[in-house]
């Protein structure tokens, strides 16, 4: 029997899965994305480098700083400039705050896909706390447009350090509760352990990125592999699990949130005083050439490939987003999985269709 | 049929009396039921769905107004919230979802993109406003709108429903299509 | 002057009542005295016994005279079926349960839940939902089996009501006191998955059909543990009559004698009721709304109400089998022993219902293969152990038979 | 910096010496290198990059339209998970193919991760990847009948 899951289906987000089931087992799954395709790459060719910022972060407003970060780095690479040190730390704080909110969103949807509505509500509620925190720097709830080539738009207020410290303290306690209540119970184990196993070899072969990759035992994190901004000055661990199943993916998200909080704390301590924005001309005209910048966003390695012809507009801008790279793993993992596990397996891969469709 | 003018007046009066005694109170009751029981369709068209999720989260809690969080089947839903950009691929689906919902149904257009195309006004694949395919009751500006704005839109919709006239449900047969 | 708010509505209603009272002597009373005597035959069937036609006519003139009529009416089967232990009562509790469930779930999730429908804490939320559903369009898919589709909600309601008929609220308030009440209860219970399957088949759509099939699968896994765990109670009580089972628990509820059986029965009951973690037939993320996907308007409303009526009935069955039914300390004056019994039964049943609601906020959904494993591997084994415990208890003579 | 650059330099040199005649151009900077080859030998180059150099997956496939030169440049970006020292390096393998008949062999057998990227490039730029098992429409609506949108002669409706 062939089932069309989505685009209007509680278990699919913004995309469609055409799955063939034999009894309760999925024998074939074919993703049908494109329901949110908005032509960002073409639009970027008719906007200048600053005008591109707001629409580029829209595909992933769940992790707005994460998707903007490599764009800014790529433009800086083309210009041959870099951000002042304080701006680098503020960028890192924003990126990590967004990582936490994005992971909390991941957790809540994971919960609803497991049939656990409390697991939807609690992380949603705690996400607001971090949104408040990033609102102090960014100014709006989720779409900040805060990073610009050559720095950030605005400095962090003085009260930020205190509030961040308090929030992190609060949230560490909450994380323990989450683990105790949602993860370490037999029902959750039964639904996730050994389900949708992505082996290390396959993860490498399919070029999976982000938490799914680390859950499969590959210790790869762009922040470590190719440290950008001040990531080489902070101390953090890359969580790795070797099982590669849904449970490992869930655990990676928990561990990453802890590491992010530790990075935020270190950044606040190490952050120097100084300007947050380099003086650049209002109309950026990078010299002809090309740049490929990548960062580790919440959902995995995010990369931009920009070709410049020396004009006001990018000649070609390619968004190589994490979700689109994980799309290939969906049909691969869903084969042989129970129908009931279909939403958790595909969501566990951190596939966010809006981001993948661009 | 009624030739006599007096009889016509009498029938008209009787109709008025019935409308006054039964119709209007019933209308009020049904509308009151409708405004506190708006169940949204689970249709996400783009990124505004995050803010809708946040709005049904604990801090904003749409269930105070009787709006359930993500609800399963569209056959039981009253409210279509178009959550963000509608592109050319999803537009026929939005219309199909709208057609399959039972009357009375209401549409909220959420976010600049679904109101007018917004940031994507010059994109080749984006509809310039969802109101070209479904009738919209309330528009929420913002990119994305804050959860408070969603709540405000709900209250505006409630005020609109309050003024509506009750029409009895009718039985229709529609063709279901499995896409 | 249109009605704009609640005060206007009340004013309008009072106005109508006033005019009706003014005009009723002119229109309604003559009508009654012409029409009623011709209908007396019908009323006579409903109220057997010493009440005659003249008493009813007299009661119309003198309201005080209606009290003996009411007490007589309350003894009839019609009253039992339609009003008190039967349908109306169950529907009231079911509506209350929906509200309690939503509020409880909201509190567990750090929310407030329904708040604005009704002036106080959203108490009128279920009424609002009901009013809306009544006024909603009913869509029948063209390729659906029309007759079967229309029948489903009412079949579900009938089956739920049939369960109500055998669950004793107190010694007096039981619709039918059957000698094989327990067996009948299980016979009725096994109808539900069939209704789900028919619903799925009649909708002629894939997701409802999958939901119906899952309901059948689920039945296979819980039905036998459910039966066997209740067998322990039958062994202890020495009877299949539900009233007698309660009466044997007058000193000690079977929960204390048979905790294992109670747990197995509780879990299997949750599965029967399709509540989280066992709500596989309507699992939202994969099956949309399961076998209820194509239901709309009042068809959905009635089905949902039937589900909650069944919820109440089965919680009542658990109370009957394990919690000592209507027995409890006397909190009302002795002459109101019946009311006391009813209160205790209701309180216990509501407690069981709330206990069954809690997992909805605290547990994830189970998978169908795990469900089968749990049902056949663990619950069945525990149920057998429980029967042996029951036999040993009976042999030792701990519980008086 | 120098140690770092030497790695990229050596990689580029290795590739250039292996495929002398077919390499059109090559460049490198810190952590990045790019090599442009003929489309006829792209399979061989890719296999060499995977097996000998150890770049085990492709991160993206993309293309740029150059109507002035009459070519479309298809670029494969690849990197490595399994070799620690190669993780920081992102290589680019570029092919310039004529604009009017853009056809290149698919690299799906070398790097399976390119499946969806090649489909995207196919519909966005009209490049046909020969040997791709499932070269269908991916993101654009089903009734798309215009020229591929990322070609430079496709103008946006509002502009």
- CA C99 to chain A, closest CA, distance in angstroms equals 17
- On chain B, the residues whose CB falls within 8 A of the CB of D149 are 124-125
State how beta strands D57-66 and A2-5 pair.
unpaired
Pick from B83, B56, B71: nearest CA to B147: B56
Distance from the Cα of residue C38 to its chain's centroid: 36
pTM, rounded to two decimals: 0.88
For residues C155 and C213, membership in a common domain is answered with yes
- On chain B, the residues whose CB falls within 8 A of the CB of C300 are 75-76
Q: Which residue has the higher pLDDT, D21 or A126?
A: A126
Whole-angstrom distance, CA of residue C357 vs CA of residue C369: 23
Long-range contacts of C186-190 (CB under 8 A, 24+ apart): C186/C226, C186/C227, C186/C230, C188/C159, C188/C162, C188/C163, C189/C163, C189/C226, C189/C272, C189/C314, C190/C219, C190/C223
Whole-angstrom distance, CA of residue C249 vs CA of residue C241: 13
Whole-angstrom distance, CA of residue A213 vs CA of residue C392: 57
Contact B128, B117 (CB under 8 A): yes
Mean pLDDT of chain C: 81
Predicted confidence at residue C55, as pLDDT, reads 67
Whole-angstrom distance, CA of residue C183 vs CA of residue A196: 43
* Residue D63, beta-bridge partner list: D74
For residues C176 and C200, membership in a common domain is answered with yes
Whole-angstrom distance, CA of residue C39 vs CA of residue C104: 48
Other Cβ atoms within 10 Å of A12 Cβ, number: 25
Residue A28: its H or E element: strand A25-32
Say yes or no for a CB contact (<8 Å) between B124 and D156.
yes
Which chains, if any, share at least 3 CB pairs under 8 A with chain C? A, B
Pick from C314, C299, C313, C226: nearest CA to C263: C226
User: Measured on CA atoms in the order C12, C13, C14, C17, is the torsion positive or negative?
Assistant: positive
* φ/ψ (deg, to 5) at C193: -60, -30
For residues C186 and C270, membership in a common domain is answered with yes
Find tokens 């998978």 and name the residue: C367
Closest residue in C to B21 (Cα) is C16
Residue A23 has pLDDT above 50, yes or no: yes
User: Measured on CA atoms in the order B19, B21, B23, B25, is the torsion positive or negative?
Assistant: positive
Give domain status of residue B170, yes or no: no
Give domain status of residue B104, yes or no: yes
**Structural domain harbouring C13:** 6-75
Q: Which residue has the higher pLDDT, C371 or B174?
A: C371
Other Cβ atoms within 10 Å of C82 Cβ, number: 14
Whole-number percent of chain A with pLDDT over 70: 100
pLDDT per residue as tens digits for the range C171-189: 777 778 888 888 888 888 8
Numbered residues of chain D with Cβ closer than 8 Å to any chain A Cβ: 31-32, 34, 56-60, 62, 64-65, 75, 77, 81-82, 87-88, 90, 92, 111-113, 115-117, 120, 124, 138-141, 149-150, 154, 156, 159
pLDDT per residue as tens digits for the range D132-145: 888 888 888 888 88
Pick from C30, C32, C73, C27: nearest CA to C49: C73
Predicted confidence at residue B179, as pLDDT, reads 43
Task: Spell out the residues 6+ positions from residue A281 whose beta carbon is closer than 8 angstroms to its own.
Answer: none
Pick from C239, C392, C393, C214: nearest CA to C321: C239
Contact B110, B79 (CB under 8 A): no
pLDDT per residue as tens digits for the range C292-311: 888 888 888 888 888 898 88
Predicted confidence at residue C40, as pLDDT, reads 61
- On chain B, the residues whose CB falls within 8 A of the CB of A39 are 120, 123-126
For residues C297 and C355, membership in a common domain is answered with yes
Residue A283 has pLDDT above 70, yes or no: yes
Say yes or no for a CB contact (<8 Å) between B89 and D141.
yes
User: What's the CATH class of domain A34-326+339-350?
Assistant: mainly alpha
* Most A CBs within 10 Å, among D65, D139, D148, D154, to test the A interface: D139
Give domain status of residue C82, yes or no: no
Q: Where are the alpha helices (DSSP H) in B75-174?
A: 91-100, 112-116, 147-162
Predicted confidence at residue C42, as pLDDT, reads 61
Q: Where are the alpha helices (DSSP H) in A271-341?
A: 322-326, 329-334
For residues C92 and C186, membership in a common domain is answered with yes
Pick from C373, C224, C255, C252: nearest CA to C319: C255
Kindly state the average pLDDT of the residues D107-116.
86
Q: How many domains does chain B have?
A: 1
Whole-angstrom distance, CA of residue C322 vs CA of residue C102: 27
Residue C64 has pLDDT above 80, yes or no: no
Kindly state the average pLDDT of the residues C188-204.
86
Q: Return the CATH architecture of domain D3-101.
A: 2-Layer Sandwich (3.30)
- CA D159 to chain B, closest CA, distance in angstroms equals 7
Residue A159 has pLDDT above 60, yes or no: yes
Predicted confidence at residue A30, as pLDDT, reads 87
What is chain D's percent helix, strand, coil content, to nearest 5?
Answer: 30, 30, 40
Give the number of B-D residue pairs with CB atoms closer than 8 Å. 20
pLDDT per residue as tens digits for the range C140-151: 888 888 888 888
Say yes or no for a CB contact (<8 Å) between B88 and D158.
no
Predicted confidence at residue C286, as pLDDT, reads 75
Kindly state the average pLDDT of the residues A91-113.
89
DSSP string, A76-90: HHHHT----HHHHHH
Give domain status of residue C1, yes or no: no
Closest residue in B to C117 (Cα) is B36
C207 CB within 8 Å of a chain A CB? yes
Q: Name the least confident of A177-181, A211-215, C51-55, D107-111.
A: C51-55
For residues C325 and C205, membership in a common domain is answered with yes
- On chain A, the residues whose CB falls within 8 A of the CB of C367 are 190-191, 338, 340-341
Task: Identify the DSSP state of A230.
Answer: T
Kindly state the average pLDDT of the residues C219-231.
85
Whole-angstrom distance, CA of residue B55 vs CA of residue D126: 42
Please report the residues numbered 119 through 148 in chain B whose beta carbons come closer than 8 angstroms to any beta carbon of chain D: 121-125
Residue D1 confidence class, pLDDT cut points 50, 70, 90: very low
**Structural domain harbouring B80:** 43-162
Residue D110 has pLDDT above 80, yes or no: yes
Whole-angstrom distance, CA of residue C270 vs CA of residue C15: 49
Q: What ipTM was assigned to the predicted interfaces of this complex?
A: 0.85
Q: What is the CATH number of the domain that holds B129?
A: 3.40.50.12280
For residues C109 and C206, membership in a common domain is answered with yes
Distances (CA, A) of D156 to A142, D62, D159: 28, 20, 5
Whole-angstrom distance, CA of residue B77 vs CA of residue B70: 10
Whole-angstrom distance, CA of residue C364 vs CA of residue C371: 13
């Amino acid at each position: 029997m062939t089932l069309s899951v989505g685009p209007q289906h509680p278990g699919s987000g913004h995309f469609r899965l055409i799955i063939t089931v034999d009894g309760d087992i999925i024998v074939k799954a074919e993703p049908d994305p494109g329901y949110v395709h908005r032509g960002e790459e073409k639009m970027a060719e008719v906007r200048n480098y600053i005008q591109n910022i707001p629409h580029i972060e829209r595909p992933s407003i769940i992790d707005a700083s994460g998707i903007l970060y490599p764009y800014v780095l790529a433009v800086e690479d083309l210009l041959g400039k870099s951000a002042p040190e304080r701006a680098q730390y503020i960028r890192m704080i924003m990126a990590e705050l967004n990582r936490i909110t994005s992971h909390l969103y991941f957790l809540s949807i994971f919960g609803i896909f497991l049939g656990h509505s409390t697991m939807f509500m609690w992380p949603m509620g705690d996400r607001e706390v971090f949104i408040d925190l990033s609102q102090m720097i960014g100014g709006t709830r989720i779409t900040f447009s805060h990073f610009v080539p050559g720095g950030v738009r605005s400095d962090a207020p003085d009260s930020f350090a205190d509030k961040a410290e308090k929030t992190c303290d609060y949230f560490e306690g909450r994380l323990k509760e989450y683990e105790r209540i949602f993860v370490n119970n037999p029902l959750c184990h039964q639904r996730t352990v050994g389900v949708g196993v992505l082996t290390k070899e396959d993860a490498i072969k399919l070029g999976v990125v982000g938490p799914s990759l680390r859950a499969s035992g590959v210790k790869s994190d762009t922040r470590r592999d190719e440290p950008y901004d001040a990531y080489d000055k902070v101390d953090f661990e890359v969580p790795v699990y070797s099982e590669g199943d849904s449970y490992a993916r869930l655990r990676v998200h928990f561990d990453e949130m802890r590491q992010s909080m530790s990075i935020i704390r270190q950044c606040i301590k190490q952050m120097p005083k100084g300007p947050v924005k380099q003086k650049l001309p209002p109309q950026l005209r990078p010299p002809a050439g090309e740049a490929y910048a990548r960062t580790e966003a919440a959902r995995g390695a995010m990369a931009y490939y920009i070709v410049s012809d020396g004009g006001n507009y990018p000649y070609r801008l390619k968004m190589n987003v994490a979700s689109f790279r994980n799309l290939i793993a969906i049909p691969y993992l869903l084969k042989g999985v129970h129908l009931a596990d279909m939403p958790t397996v595909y969501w566990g891969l951190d596939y966010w269709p809006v981001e993948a469709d661009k | 049929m009624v030739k006599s003018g007096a009889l016509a007046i009498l029938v008209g009066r009787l109709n008025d009396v019935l409308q006054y005694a039964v119709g209007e109170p019933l209308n009020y009751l049904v509308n009151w039921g409708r405004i506190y029981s708006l169940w949204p369709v689970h249709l996400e068209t783009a990124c505004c769905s995050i803010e809708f999720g946040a709005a049904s989260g604990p801090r904003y809690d749409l269930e105070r107004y009787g709006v359930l969080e993500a609800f399963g089947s569209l056959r039981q839903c009253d409210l279509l919230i178009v959550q963000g950009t509608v592109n050319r691929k999803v537009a026929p689906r939005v219309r199909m979802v709208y057609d399959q919902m039972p009357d009375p149904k209401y549409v909220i257009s959420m976010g600049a993109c679904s109101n007018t195309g917004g940031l994507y006004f010059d994109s080749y694949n984006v509809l310039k406003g969802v109101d070209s395919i479904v009738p919209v009751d309330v528009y929420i500006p913002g990119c994305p709108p804050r959860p408070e704005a969603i709540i405000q839109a709900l209250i505006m919709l409630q005020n609109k429903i309050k003024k509506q006239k009750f029409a009895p449900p009718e039985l229709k047969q529609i063709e279901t299509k499995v896409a | 002057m249109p009605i704009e708010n609640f005060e206007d509505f009340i004013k309008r209603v009072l106005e109508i009542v006033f005019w009706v009272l003014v005009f009723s002597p002119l229109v309604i009373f003559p009508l009654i005295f012409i029409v009623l005597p011709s209908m007396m035959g019908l009323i006579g069937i409903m109220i057997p016994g010493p009440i005659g036609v003249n008493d009813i006519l007299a009661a119309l003139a003198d309201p005080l005279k209606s009290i003996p009529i009411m007490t007589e009416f309350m003894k009839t089967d019609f009253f039992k079926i339609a009003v008190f232990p039967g349908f109306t009562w169950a529907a009231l509790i079911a509506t209350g349960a929906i509200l309690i469930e939503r509020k409880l779930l909201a509190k567990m999730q750090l929310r407030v839940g329904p708040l604005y429908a009704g002036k106080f804490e959203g108490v009128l939320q279920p009424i609002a939902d009901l009013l809306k559903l009544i006024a909603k369009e009913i869509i029948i898919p063209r390729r659906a089996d029309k007759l079967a589709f229309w029948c489903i909600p009412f079949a579900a309601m009938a089956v739920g009501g049939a369960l109500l008929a055998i669950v004793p609220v107190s010694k007096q308030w039981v619709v039918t006191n059957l000698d094989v009440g327990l067996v009948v209860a299980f016979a009725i219970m096994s109808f539900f998955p069939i209704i789900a399957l028919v619903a799925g088949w009649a909708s002629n759509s894939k997701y409802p059909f999958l939901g119906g099939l899952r309901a059948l699968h689920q039945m296979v896994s819980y039905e036998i543990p459910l039966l066997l765990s209740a067998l322990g109670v039958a062994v202890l009580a020495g009877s299949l009559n539900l009233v007698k089972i309660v009466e044997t628990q007058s000193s000690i509820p079977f929960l204390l004698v048979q905790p294992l059986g109670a747990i197995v029965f509780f879990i299997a009951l949750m599965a029967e009721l399709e509540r989280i973690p066992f709500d596989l037939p309507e699992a939202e993320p994969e099956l949309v709304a399961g076998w209820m996907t194509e239901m709309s308007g009042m068809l959905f409303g009635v089905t949902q109400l039937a589900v909650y009526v069944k919820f109440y009935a089965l919680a009542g069955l658990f109370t009957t089998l394990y919690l000592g039914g209507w027995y409890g300390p006397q909190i009302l004056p002795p002459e109101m022993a019946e009311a006391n019994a009813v209160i205790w039964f209701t309180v216990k049943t509501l407690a069981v219902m709330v206990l069954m609601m809690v997992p909805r906020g605290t547990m994830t959904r189970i998978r169908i293969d795990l469900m089968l494993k749990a049902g056949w591997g663990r619950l069945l084994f525990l149920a057998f152990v429980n029967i042996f415990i029951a036999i040993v208890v009976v042999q030792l003579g701990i519980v008086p038979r | 910096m120098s140690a770092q650059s030497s790695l990229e330099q050596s990689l580029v040199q290795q590739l250039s010496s292996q495929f002398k005649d077919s390499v059109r151009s090559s460049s490198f900077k810190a952590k990045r290198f790019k090599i442009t080859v003929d489309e006829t030998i792209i399979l061989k180059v890719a296999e060499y990059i995977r097996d000998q150099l150890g770049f085990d997956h492709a991160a993206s496939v993309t293309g740029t339209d150059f109507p002035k030169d009459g070519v479309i440049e298809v670029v494969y970006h690849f990197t490595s998970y399994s070799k620690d020292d190669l993780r920081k390096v992102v290589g680019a393998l570029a092919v310039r193919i004529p604009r009017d008949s853009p056809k290149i062999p698919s690299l799906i057998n070398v790097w399976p991760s390119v499946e969806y990227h090649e489909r995207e490039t196919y519909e966005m730029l009209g490049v046909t990847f020969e040997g791709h098992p499932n070269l269908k429409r991916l993101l654009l609506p089903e009734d798309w009948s215009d020229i591929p949108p990322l070609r430079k002669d496709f103008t946006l409706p509002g502009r």
